[in-house]
Chain A
Amino acid sequence: NAGVTQTPKFQVLKTGQSMTLQCAQDMNHNSMYWYRQDPGMGLRLIYYSASEGTTDKGEVPNGYNVSRLNKREFSLRLESAAPSQTSVYFCASNNRAYVNQPQHFGDGTRLSIL
């Protein structure tokens, strides 16, 4: 019963390097989300995909791009990593076609940018 799977779990990058964070869900959900969590703060929405083929900006999209590869997979790309992007990144999914659908989260990717 995997749910939402994120890879990698940890990563250290140098400033200016690029990287793609992967997320896959096996719950047949139509909507997927990327959040970041910084110390002392709640999770903040970076980008989301309401359905396959669509993506929209969230609260903090600058410096990121996303791809909804298919219904299962939603990736987050940092083109030129900056120290301010050091954070824990969480992917989530839900079935937005119905009401009162909680989002289910992966265990996160801990990213450090030096």
Chain B
Amino acid sequence: DQQVKQNSPSLSVQEGRISILNCDYTNSMFDYFLWYKKYPAEGPTFLISISSIKDKNEDGRFTVFLNKSAKHLSLHIVPSQPGDSAVYFCAASEETSGSRLTFGEGTQLTVNP
């Protein structure tokens, strides 16, 4: 039972354009959502998060949107840069403390110069 799902294994965008990565979940008890970025041979690096009491959170070029009724979140990167090329994982936790994360499968983002 895949509780967090990223349906697009890969995404390719042009430098300067918007990248939109999507994530769906099935567990209505999830209370805290995160996006991680992962380069090859490194561990995941925290990017941005959102609590279930909000529907949007921004940090520089990165914005996360949460639609609780649709059980859907998305990550927008504007403008996209070649250094953003990495695998992006969404993750969710039933606890606001961020314990016991459930991860999606990941989306490989490639930003072309």
Interface residues of A (CB under 8 A from B): 4, 31, 33, 35, 40-45, 48, 50, 58-59, 90, 92, 94, 96-108
Q: Would B43 and A108 count as touching, CB distance under 8 A?
A: yes
| Cβ A99 vs Cβ B97 within 8 A | yes
**Minimal beta-carbon separation of B81 from chain A (angstroms):** 22
State the Cβ distance, B86 to closest chain A Cβ, in Å.
Answer: 14
With A41-B105, A90-B44 known as contacts, the answer to whether A100 contacts B49 (CB < 8 A) is yes
Interface contacts beyond A35-B103, A40-B9, A100-B32: sample of 17 additional A-B pairs, CB < 8 Å, sorted by A: A4-B43, A31-B99, A42-B89, A42-B91, A42-B102, A42-B103, A42-B106, A48-B99, A48-B100, A90-B44, A96-B98, A99-B98, A101-B98, A102-B98, A105-B43, A106-B43, A108-B41
Contact between B98 and A42 (Cβ–Cβ < 8 Å)? no
Q: Look across to chain A and name the residue whose beta carbon is closest to the beta carbon of B101.
A: A103
Chain B contact-residue range equals 20 to 34
Task: Give the residues in chain A near B97, CB-CB below 8 Å.
Answer: 31, 94, 96-101
The reply on B45 being an interface residue by CB < 8 A is: yes
Q: How far is the CB of A68 from chain B (nearest CB, A)?
A: 15
Interface of A is mostly: loop
Complex Cα–Cα for A102 and B89 (A):
13
Complex: how many Å from CA A106 to CA B89? Answer: 16
As a 0/1 sequence over residues 36 to 74 of chain B, the CB contacts with chain A under 8 angstroms (1 = contact) are 100001111110010100000000000000000000000
Q: How far is the CA of A92 from the CA of B32 in the complex (A)?
A: 17
B111 at the interface (CB under 8 A from A): no
Residues of B within 8 A of A43 (CB): 44, 89, 91, 101, 103
